[in-house]
Amino acid sequence: MDAMFQSGLFFDSNTINTYDLSRNNPMVKVEGGDILVIRDNILLVGNGSRTSSQGIDLLVQEFCKTDTDKKHVIVQQLPESPESFIHLDMVFTMLDSNTAMVYKPLIMGSSPYQTVHIQIENGKVVKISSATGILSLLKKLGIEIDPVVCGGKADDWDQEREQWHSGANFLAIAPGKVISYARNIHTLEELSKNGFEIVAARDIINDNYNLETSKRCVITIEGSELPRGGGGPRCMTMPLRRS
């Protein structure tokens, strides 16, 4: 994978190879499901079983080298178990430029898990502080997010059940156009209430739905074995850039 990015044939970008930079330090762990680029200068990172504090330190160190502009790294602590909290994108994913799918108990409720704000200026970390949550911190940084609740607002059990089945894990293929599992019916109902049209993937494949002319929509895919493996649409892709 590193060779593909570095070859220059497909991508014009720099890469961060944590394996090489850490000299194969087993304490340095970073996985893509914990990394969300909210804006060019705002990085949202999950800190849990798959991305360690040492891995985040390395990311911050490399982020400092990119330029001298002000930058922000928001670190959200995650539960170590159960497996449904394996990555940040299992509790928070962007649906549109100002809309996100959230697992309410962790992102919006009173939680023992910390949110940390790391501020970078002129290539150096200038301040590290605690925050009251991802949404309030993003609002302070000029990004007001409308949250859509995974599992719907009515029942805590629906929220927990559908989060377990990757109900908060969405892949945005364009702003406001996302892919999700069809099985999470309460999450889809909540999306419909928030202006998203629900369309089956087979209708797009059979040319019964035009994505180009649509506005907000959720493309649903059937999945029984895939969720059992512990991943959603974003987990099974490599999002490179969100326009």
The predicted-structure confidence for 98-121, as pLDDT tens digits, reads as follows 999 999 999 998 889 999 999 999
Are 235 and 33 contacting, i.e. CB atoms less than 8 angstroms apart?
yes
pTM flag (> 0.95): no
pLDDT tens-place string over residues 211-239: 988 899 999 998 767 766 667 888 878 75
Domain boundaries, the chain: 1-81+109-149, 150-234
- For 90, residues 6+ apart whose C-beta sits below 8 A from its C-beta are 33, 84, 103, 163, 166, 168, 169, 232
Q: Which residues are catalytic?
A: 235
Q: What is the pLDDT of residue 227?
A: 65
Query: Is the peptide bond preceding residue 82 cis, with omega within 30 degrees of 0?
Result: yes
Class of domain 1-81+109-149: alpha beta
Question: Residue 1: how many CB atoms within 10 A of its CB?
Answer: 8
Of 151, 138, 22, 18, which Cα lies nearest the Cα of 76? 138
